[in-house]
Amino acid sequence: MRLLLKTTAIALALTAAAGSVKAAGHGGVEVLHWWTSGGEAAALNVLKDDLEGQGIGWTDMPVAGGGGEQAMTVLRARVTAGNAPTAVQGLGFDIIDWAKQGALANLNDVAAAEGWDAVVPAALQHFAKVDGVWVSAPVNVHSTNWVWANKSVLDANGISVPETWEDFAAAMETLAAAGVTPIAHGGQAWQEATVFDAVAMSTLGPDGYKAAFIDLDPEALGSDAMKEAFDRMAVIRANVDENFSGRDWNLATAMVINGEAGFQMMGDWAKGEFLNAGQVPGEDFLCFRFPGTQSQVTFNADQFMMFDQGGSVSTEQAALASAILSPSFQSAFNVVKGSVPARTDVSDADFDACGKQGIADLAAAASSGNLFGSMAHGHANEAAVKNAMYDVITAHFNGEFDSETAVEELVTAVEIAQ
């Protein structure tokens, strides 16, 4: 059923796209993205307005589905049909993949004119500049190891911000006893993997996370610490409500916003939903790093890949790239989106408490060797490996494997996927 719905959504998106190409035409851009929740759409409007202010038309090509899996399916179909959109939201290894296929335009002129090399962090350049060529424009830096909490629910139950896994487990128990859903969760593979990013970081530690998810070391993948990560996932699974299956991430965020649930483990795009609902950090909701990962940042950066339209980069593509990298846009957009700037020279003055923490955490993690690409959001490994991990994590979450079997399956699945 879910597959059918997805296929229908993709078919509709493709039909819409066929009609929209002309509209994009000359003087405009067609932008494929998956920013369809309330908070995401509010952030996207900052970009649309910026471009429209420059007289550049915007043809919107939204493909719903958190994490972008469906958007990438539509993209592949469009490219195969010889009808690539002008600009496409992309993540990590997917960008490198499209660049290696020769599908992306060369942005080196605009990058050189605007000095991107000096202001975009090295961790992002790794995915934006492939073989010396800038192929995409980084919009932001998100990170996945956050927890979001309803402040009055926590206060009413005498719970303070958990520092350790044991604190967190105790808080879940208290909420369950009080009849509140401890964890708001959406049962979709990418969401389970997002939770796993933080949980595995807490049990494996930074070296173990890197060894397992980035270096794909079979020993780290098959370690006792990995089994413990799966054990913790089982505890989390026991603390979600019975309707979690298939729920979209923003609906899970809404459960925390309206006090139905205590916590959500999700990337900082969740903050966009709290802000969109008029909530204030520190007053209505809390943001904190997943217990045991306070010094680490698992990041993913949204970028816009510029697809080669048969020649050099178009004026509109260059204008879009330039608008995205402008310091004022980087502040205005990321304040709304929940992410932090993709440049190191943007002031944190306009950011709220969570945003200021995000900016400081990112800088500290980058300089102390604690910044790692997110496994769940395509910044640790290519799609085949990521999807192999998704399958095991989600099967375990849904009770198909116990933790010991999940560890064995993980080692095997990753070996096969490489």
Instruction: Decide: is 230 part of the binding site for ligand GAL (CB under 6 A).
Output: no
Residue from 192, 228, 302, 308 binding ligand GAL (CB under 6 A) = 302
Using CB under 6 A, which residues numbered 258 to 277 contact ligand GAL? Answer: 269
Residues 6+ positions from 368 with CB-CB distance below 8 Å: 295
Per-residue contact track with ligand GAL, 361 to 380, x per CB under 6 A?
----------------x---
> Which residue type sits at 344?
T
Say if strands 28-33 and 57-62 run parallel, antiparallel, or are unpaired.
parallel
What's the token pair of residue 166? 């044991």
Q: Which amino acid is at 211?
A: A
Instruction: Output 67 or 341, the one with its CB closest to ligand GAL.
Output: 67
Residue closer to ligand GAL by CB (options 140, 223) is: 140
Does 66 engage in binding with ligand GAL (CB under 6 A)?
Answer: yes
Q: How many CA atoms lie within 13 A of 327 on its CB side?
A: 10
Residue from 28, 39, 62, 67 touching ligand GAL (CB under 6 A): that is 67
Comparing CB distances to ligand GAL, the nearer of 192 and 302 is 302
3-class DSSP state for residue 271? helix
Residue 32 and residue 74 in contact, taking contact as beta carbons nearer than 8 Å = yes
Of residues 28, 62, 68, 206, which one binds ligand GAL by CB under 6 A? 68
From the CB of 71, what's the least distance to ligand GAL, in Å?
Answer: 9
For residue 360, count other CB atoms closer than 10 A to its CB.
12
Of the ranges 49-57, 61-69, 75-83, 226-234, which one interacts with ligand GAL (CB under 6 A)?
61-69
Query: Binding mask 87-106 vs ligand GAL (x if CB under 6 A, - otherwise)?
Result: ----x---------------
C-alpha 129/C-alpha 303 separation (Å) is 11
The least distance separating ligand GAL from the CB of residue 250, rounded to whole angstroms, comes to: 8
Q: How far is the CB of 221 from ligand GAL (least distance, A)?
A: 23
Region of residue 179 (left: phi > 0; alpha: psi -120 to 50; beta: else): left
136-138 vs 146-150, strand pairing mode: unpaired
* Radius of gyration, alpha carbons of the chain: 21
Residues sharing a CB contact under 8 Å with residue 293, sequence separation 6 or more, in sequence order = 145, 198, 201, 202
Q: Nearest distance from residue 100's CB to ligand GAL, in Å?
A: 21
Query: Considering beta carbons, is residue 68 or 291 the nearer one to ligand GAL?
Result: 68
Least distance CB 91 / ligand GAL (angstroms): 6
CB atoms within 10 A of CB 67: 23
Using left for φ > 0, alpha for ψ between -120 and 50, and beta otherwise, residue 68 falls in left
Applying CB under 6 A, which part among 34-42, 71-79, 274-282, 399-407 lies near ligand GAL?
34-42
Q: ∠ at Cα 6 (182, 95), nearest 5°? A: 90
With CB under 6 A as the contact rule, the residue among 10, 30, 40, 107 that binds ligand GAL is: 40
Does position 35 interact with ligand GAL (CB under 6 A)? The reply is yes
Nearest residue by C-beta to ligand GAL? 66
Interface residues toward ligand GAL, by CB under 6 A: 34-35, 40, 66-68, 91, 142, 249, 269, 300, 302, 377
